[in-house]
Structure 1
Amino acid sequence: MVAERLTVSDVLLAPVQGAFFYDDQLAIREGVASDGFIYKGKPRTPGFSSIRMPAEALSVGLILSDDVIVWGDMMSVQYAGAGGRDPVFKTEAIMDLTHRVVWPRLKGLSIASFVDACSATLTADSERLPLAVSYGLSQALLQATAHAHRCTMAEIICREYDLPVFDRPVPLYAQSGDQRYINVDKMVLRRVDVLPHGLINSREKFGPKGETFLEFAKWVAQRVRALGGEEYNPTLHFDVYGWVGLEIGLSPSDIAVFIARVADDLSPFQLNIESPADYGSTRLQLDRYVEIVHQLERLGSSARIVVDEHCNTVEDIESFARSSAAHVIQIKAPDVGSVTDIVRAVLHCKTHGVGAYLGGSCVETDLSARVSTHVAVATQADMMLAKPGMGVDEGISIVRNEQNRLLTILRTSRLGGCKQA
């Protein structure tokens, strides 16, 4: 069969750009002043030449033995180097590593099995590849295997992980960036399932004792009802970048009381609070988030805690899910790395009854967003990020359109099912 004979014959590398900017979270958290779109002052996180930098990325193209080229995109996340993450992406260094280390593993590689191809290239020795490399390369390998079997990337995942093929859409979650008011209107008009993120990443946006944030959250609820009507009830999801802990204090009980108050004020909407506090390490983050979840349950609150920082790798995600250290876990795709680990992370969440939010970053590309859509539908994640970029419209259209195309294929029995070429 042709699928069994197809191999990688060569590699192309194309410098590209992510859809937003890499930001030094530590410098921003310390209160640096903004000047238009940039930040004043010196960066604090190693690897940053300025506090805000255009996002670099690198496309890796695999030339297959039938002369078809498939692509994947490598990049970091917006807040690279923070919360236990890999350092900021540097194109020249990654190009050099790919030529020296990755290409020898790829030459002549069979792409009949996606999982086997990833195992042979991404885990070939004890020293792990940068997660950005694993992420981009696994995207290309997934597309290669889908090409070999003449089916969708989602079907390859279902086939290799023994998952049922569902044609159900995954709820879409949009983030506002700093244009939080006008972008809420866009989200409501487009009727996304989860909104608005809000980018509450500074003392100015959170306010004394959280009053500025609470005022904004109430406005969001009122705006959703005013523009969306009584039948539209999205989940209200706010990322507060640790500012509950920074302003209210790190006591899990005090944090839970504050969040429960917000949930009461936003009723009847479901409230998600992402990253309420940053405890500085994975171990402390897990232990304290278990307490926050327990305290919310004790209060009888319906608010849900979403973990992001210090829960990066597939091993971290399994530990948080097993310990019920959050109601929802963000599986931030470039931080997890290989698509194989992203799939495993979603499945770990489902096994332990924790919400799986297939996220990512505004600095990703249209290509990585489309691949993520196939992963989300195949694994039936509980929600996924509309990415890339901070313009709202672009991310929603890329992910929603890819999802609708995929679902149409899966619902068409004439085309359904992987084929041996």
Structure 2
Amino acid sequence: MEITGIYATPGYSGFFFDDQRAIKQGAQQDGFTYEGEPVTDGFDEIRQAGESIIVDVELADGTVVRGDCAAVQYSGAGGRDPLFKAEEYAPVVEGPVADELEGRDATDFLDNAELLEEMTVEGDRLHTAIRYGVSQALLAAAAEAENTTKTDVMADALGTEPATEPVPVFGQSGDDRYNNTEKMFVKGVPVLPHALINSVEKIGENGEVLLEYVDWLTQRSQELGPEGYDPRFHIDVYGMIGEIFGAPYDRDEVVDYFAALEDAAAPYPIQIEGPMDVGNRADQIDAMVELREGLKDAGVDVDIVADEWCNTFEDVQAFVDSGAADLVQVKTPDLGGIHRSGQAVRYCQGTDTRAYLGGTCNETETSARACAHVALATDAAQVLAKPGMGFDEGYMIVENEMRRTIARREREQRQTDTDEVTADD
């Protein structure tokens, strides 16, 4: 079925854009916002409203499907594309992108997505957010044209066998790291709570605040979790362990701190995302390898998660090939086309590194649902609940999309089996 139109409407995303560098440099919160001046190019304020572009793809039969262009909360940081401004980029979608894709066969998802991935405008590649949102719409268009699920389209494109159970969902608490985490315990969320530890105040000058929090996680999970609850704790520290301890990362002081985190989390496993941020990919990989080797030598069982400087497909490859992480976050908006996220998850298969299909609170319900299909198609180790920082909404969106898709695929398989038996008779 032919693609007959592509349209772009500026909209909002599920959270905000934050100037990470300004926050790390000590910007103080003023209610929900921050005091001070931004330091990252493109920002007018340290915290400003998140933006998206709603992409409608029209098919020859009049059907309209959707994808949403969105960028991460900390845009412009850690080697990422610059701040995404919807009014600036909407004409690119309706102009050069539409000119390239209109008239193409919607069922050729992978070819269409790869064409988009390689497009340039005035010599520059398309912003990752554009590639991300338009490719979601292309995925939806292929599924609509083939009367199948987006999971099946993605699995066919990647050569995978989809998961038959929902992928474990990772809940993110935002700054309300106690109330939102208690909600997660009540609902039995398998991986939690993110916790947003992005300042010295939140981790403690010697890491003591985070240790107290992990101890609380262990106790409260046992009080509120359902029977047989066996959570995995995942804390994102935004490089703050590196800020308070510094290199080298295999020395006793650092390793002992991770051992204390392991003890506080026991009997549950714990994984720490972004333990340090040293400013570039090569040095980040070296620092994380150094930390992992120190932990291994000491017998400390804390998993390390790559985030900073692990943005593109090539970045994922570099972290995996170097053995720099137990998990890599596949940060979906940063990889561009949504198929690239699926390819990144696949790259981890058969290695010692697990794939966490992540993203950002600053996405939309449309992009979150699209990512649920990537998670199922690749059977990722975990998938982020998104968008927003309220937890409940994002968890509902991602979990329900996976359950709905699995149920549909099971119904269709039963019908196929029935038809085959009838034909044999």
- When normalised by structure 1's length, the TM-score is 0.95
* CA distances 1:143-184 after superposition (whole Å, capped 9, x unpaired): 111111110000111122221233121001001101111111
2:6–2:58 CA contact under 8 A, matched in 1: yes
Given that 1:409 and 1:416 are in contact with CA atoms closer than 8 Å, whether structure 2 keeps it comes out as no
CA contact (8 A) 2:53 2:86 kept: yes
Q: Answer whether contact 2:188 2:226 (CA < 8 A) is retained.
A: no
Structure 1 counterpart of 2:16: 21
Amino acid in the other structure paired with 1:68: T
Task: Give the structure 1 partner of residue 385 of structure 2.
Answer: 386
**CA shift for structure 1 position 101:** 2.1
User: Contact conserved, 2:187 with 2:225, CA < 8 A, in 1?
Assistant: no
* 2:97 corresponds to 1:102: yes
1:289 and 1:325 in contact (8 A); partners too: yes
Contact 1:250 1:277 in 2 (8 A): no
- The reply to whether residue 151 of structure 1 matches residue 162 of structure 2 is no
5 Å matches for 1:164-313? 164-228=161-225, 231-254=228-251, 255-313=254-312
Alignment of 1:370-381 (within 5 A): 370-381=369-380
**Structure 1 residue 32, shift from structure 2 partner:** 1.3
The whole-number CA distance in structure 1 between the counterparts of 2:40 and 2:255 is 30
The structural deviation recorded for 1:333 is 0.5
How far apart in 1 are the matches of 2:301 and 2:175? Answer: 27
Partners of 2:163 and 2:228 in 1: CA distance: 26
Q: Name stretches of at least 5 consecutive residues in structure 2 with no aligned partner.
A: 418-425
Using the TM superposition, give the Cα deviation of residue 124 of structure 1 relative to its aligned residue in structure 2, in angstroms.
3.9
Q: Shift of residue 318 of structure 1? A: 1.0
Structure-2 residue corresponding to 1:116: 111
Distance apart, 1:259 and its partner CA:
1.4
Q: Provide the residue aligned with 1:59 in structure 2.
A: 54
TM-score (norm 2): 0.94
Secondary structure class of the residue paired with 2:7: strand
The residue identity in structure 1 corresponding to 2:87 is: E
Partner of 2:423: none
CA apart distance, 1:34: 1.2
User: 2:70 maps to which residue?
Assistant: 75
1:360 is paired with a residue of what secondary structure?
coil
Task: Give deviations 1:168-209, integer Å, cap 9, x for gaps.
Answer: 210010011011111111000111001111111111111111
2:365 and 2:387 in contact (8 A); partners too? yes
Check the 8 A contact 1:14/1:59 in 2, yes or no. yes
Q: Which residue number corresponds to residue 3 of structure 1?
A: none
Q: Give the RMSD, CA atoms, in angstroms.
A: 1.4
Of the structure 1 ranges 10-19 and 137-146, higher mean CA displacement relative to structure 2 is found in 10-19
Query: Structure 1: which amino acid aligns with 2:64?
Result: I
In 2, Cα distance between equivalents of 1:338 and 1:110: 18
Mean Cα deviation higher: 403-412 or 359-368: 403-412
Distance, in Å, in 2 between the alignment partners of 1:28 and 1:416 is 55
Instruction: Tell me the number of residue pairs that the alignment of Structure 1 and Structure 2 aligns.
Output: 412
Is the 2:11–2:86 contact (alpha carbons within 8 Å) kept by the matching residues of 1? Answer: no
Task: Give me the whole-angstrom Cα distance separating, in 2, the residues matched to 1:135 and 1:160.
Answer: 16
1:280-320 CA-to-partner distances (Å, cap 9, x unmatched) read 00111111111111111111111100010100000110111
Corresponding residue for 2:405? 406
1:128 positional shift: 1.9
TM superposition shift of 1:48? 0.7
Partner deviation per Cα, 1:83-140 (whole Å, 9 max, x = no partner): 1111111012111222332121012111222101112233145742110011001100
Contact persistence 2:6–2:93 (CA under 8 A): no
Q: Find the aligned partners of 2:275 and 2:249 in 1 and give their Cα distance.
A: 10
Q: Structure 1: which 5+ residue stretches go unaligned?
A: 1-5
Letter in 2 for 1:18: S
SS of 2:221's partner is helix
* Aligned: 1:141 with 2:138: yes
Secondary structure at the counterpart of residue 196 of structure 2:
coil
